[in-house]
Amino acid sequence: MTGPSLRVEYIRRLRWWLILPLAVLLAFSWRGVRFRPAPDPTVTPTAAATAPSVAQAPSTPTLTVTAAPPPSDTPTSTHTPTPTPTSTGIPCSNPTAINVPFTRDGSGDFCWSFSATPSYINSWNLAQLSINGVDFTNKWVSGGNLPAKINGLYYVHYVGTYAWSHVEIR
């Protein structure tokens, strides 16, 4: 760019650099914000001399140590889920044999059985998922935390109420 077009561009850019700060100042002043320097503090001498004040040490919080109660020899009960098998010993009726890995999506009431110990089982949006009678609804569980097999099999009772209900056995 040379000549008049360069000057026009220069003026156009310069205009924004001059107008923008002014516009910002006006916008803030309309909202009651004033751009004034803070007043200098003034020192007023007093006629009478005052005694120096005694400085107080800052207060510090006091640490209170309390001893924990001694351990008791009373056993605490822990809830261990137990299977609730049917009269035949199988937690659900008419199981269908499946192979691991296995995935199911959708609604329905199913009973499956498999013999392999999975790496994990994960489910979501289910009304019920029980494995050998123990509830694992909408949870992730590792294969090592599954209940004991019944007759060498795991029995899965799946109840899904949505099209997006899901279980995966890996």
Please check whether residue 62 lies inside any domain of the structure.
no
Tell me what pLDDT residue 87 has.
45
Q: What is the number of other CB atoms lying within 10 angstroms of the CB of residue 91? A: 23
Tokens 């009726």, residue located: 93
Tokens for 93, please give them: 């009726």
Beta-bridge partner residues of 135: 130
Residue span of the structural domain in which 113 resides: 96-169
Q: What is the pLDDT along the chain (170 residues), one digit of tens a residue?
A: 566 676 667 667 766 666 666 666 666 665 555 556 666 666 666 565 555 555 555 566 666 666 666 666 665 555 555 554 444 578 888 999 999 999 999 999 999 999 999 999 999 999 999 999 999 999 999 999 999 999 999 999 999 999 999 999 99
109 touches 156 (CB < 8 A): no
Q: Is residue 91 part of a domain?
A: no
Assigned domain for 90 exists: no
Q: What pLDDT is stored for residue 91 in this prediction?
A: 86
Q: Please tell me the predicted confidence (pLDDT) of residue 93.
A: 87
Distance CA 162, CA 105 (A): 9
pLDDT score of 86? 45
Residue 144 belongs to some domain of the structure: yes
Asked if 120 and 126 count as a contact pair (C-beta separation under 8 A), the reply is no
- Looking at the whole model, is its pTM more than 0.75? no
Q: Do the domain assignments include residue 119?
A: yes
Please give the distance of CA 90 from its chain centroid, rounded to a whole number. Answer: 38
DSSP track, 15-41: HHHHHHHHHHHHHHHHTT----PPPPP
Number of independent structural domains in the chain: 2
87 lies in some domain: no
In a domain, 83, yes or no: no
Which token pair is 36?
A: 């004034």
pLDDT of residue 16: 60
* Euclidean distance between CA atoms 102 and 122, whole angstroms: 11
The reply to whether omega before 91 is within 30° of 0 (cis) is no
- Whether 27 is covered by a domain: the verdict is yes
